Amino acid sequence: MFLTNLFKFKRVCTHEHITPDMESGYCPDCGKLIKNEWYITRCACCGIKLKTVSIKGELQPQYHYCTNCGSQEFLVEKLEKINFIDINFAVLEKCEAEEHIHLRNTTQCWEEKTDSQPKLLVQYL
């Protein structure tokens, strides 16, 4: 029994069913809410886009120096939406989003907007 516990590996969910085209969704393997976030790196000197890689959870450019100006400094920029131009430079991070518990206990109501204005009620004396 001890040997089986010794060789048990801790399984970490990779959220492979959450595709890059989704903004967020629940992972069917672990049940957590996953949010897709896109990041890109830029040279701090000239502002050119650099190919981004994730090494041990840290975002950094693929090369240590900028191919345009030779600078070593870079900035990490979070993209709201990915477009086809930035897809070659960006990296996808799948982050666990916290669910808003207070939204579960609230009741929301809304009124449909009508084209006509409400009429005044007639008051009889």
* Structural contact between residues 82 and 90, judged by C-beta atoms closer than 8 angstroms: yes
Average pLDDT, the chain: 80
Sorted by where each begins, the domain ranges of the chain are: 12-99
Among candidate residues 90, 88, 67, 70, the one with its CA nearest the CA of residue 80: 90
Looking at the DSSP bridge assignments, the partners of residue 55 are 58
pTM for the model: 0.66
**If you average pLDDT over residues 27-50, what whole number do you get?**
90
Q: pLDDT tens digit string along 16-31? A: 888 888 888 888 888 8
**If you average pLDDT over residues 26-37, what whole number do you get?**
87
Is the pLDDT at 88 greater than 60, yes or no? yes
Instruction: Quote the pLDDT of residue 109.
Output: 62
Task: Supply the DSSP string of 95-117, one letter for each residue.
Answer: EEPPP-GGGTT---------SSP
